[in-house]
Amino acid sequence: MEQERKCAMEGEGMEQERRRDGKNGEMLGTDGFQMEMEGFSRNEEFARVVVAVFMSRMNPTLEELDDVKTAVSEAVTNAVIHGYQNQGGKVGIACSIAGNELTVTVWDQGRGIADLKKAMEPMYTTDRSGERSGMGFSFMEAFMDHLEVESCPGKGTTVRMKKRIGG
């Protein structure tokens, strides 16, 4: 029941958005894309560049662009290193714009995180080489306005991040 109402409200919003669009003939409703790529480390740069190009239509400042690129890089790196243990696997990225808010979702179907609370502690890392800072989630939190992580051991991890652009 609760869910039905929520859907109806979203539906109404879309309708209004479309009507408004009709006046100038331009689509201005919820905008977005979704893609899947192989979780190889060489694709980390590709992922952040794709998101940066997509969000450029929001006229972000250079700093906002860098913040989002950093957060995407952290999320994708986590999927590559932790989700798939550097063995490769599909990494999904979805972006959407609603008003002045950008939402970026990064997901993998890797090993998942058993203790999410611990994984999100600053400086916590499972790495023994000393080369990993353990700041991935802290950076996502620092550079975005909102961070949500869902993980299921053996099934994968989904990171959803939001940031207001331009104010």
Partner 1 sequence: MNTNTFTYEPRGQMLVIHLPKELDHHNCRNLRYETDLLLSENYITRIIFDFSQTEFMDSSGIGVLLNRYKQMAGSGGSVVLYGAGAQVRRILHVGGLARLVPCFETKEAALTCS
How many CB atoms are located within 10 Å of the residue 24 CB?
8
Pick the piece of the chain touching partner 1 (CB under 8 A) from 71-79, 88-96, 99-107, 151-159.
Answer: 71-79
Task: Write out the DSSP string of 98-112.
Answer: ETTEEEEEEEE-SS-
Here's the x/- map for partner 1, 50-69, by CB under 8 A: it reads as ------------xx--x--x
Q: Is residue 78 annotated as part of the catalytic site, yes or no?
A: yes
* 129 touches partner 1 by CB under 8 A: yes
- What are residue 80's phi and psi, to 5 degrees? -70, -50
Catalytic-labelled residue, pool 48, 64, 74, 111: 74
Measure the CA–CA gap between 164 and 98, rounded to whole angstroms: 10
* 136 touches partner 1 by CB under 8 A: yes
> How far is the CA of 103 from the CAs of 33, 55, 77, 132, 157, in angstroms?
11, 10, 18, 27, 16
Task: Say what the alpha-carbon torsion angle 114, 117, 123, 125 is, to the nearest 10 degrees.
Answer: 0
Measure the CA–CA gap between 107 and 93, rounded to whole angstroms: 7
Nearer to partner 1, 25 or 130 (CB): 130
Q: How far is CA 46 from the centre of its chain?
A: 14
Pick the piece of the chain touching partner 1 (CB under 8 A) from 17-25, 44-52, 94-102, 156-164.
Answer: 44-52
* 128 touches partner 1 by CB under 8 A: no
* Identified binder of partner 1 from the candidate list 39, 48, 54, 157, rule CB under 8 A: 48
List residues with catalytic annotation: 74, 78, 132
- Where along the sequence are the contacts to partner 1 (CB under 8 A)? 41-42, 44-45, 48, 62-63, 66, 69-70, 73-74, 77, 80-81, 129-136, 138-139, 142-143
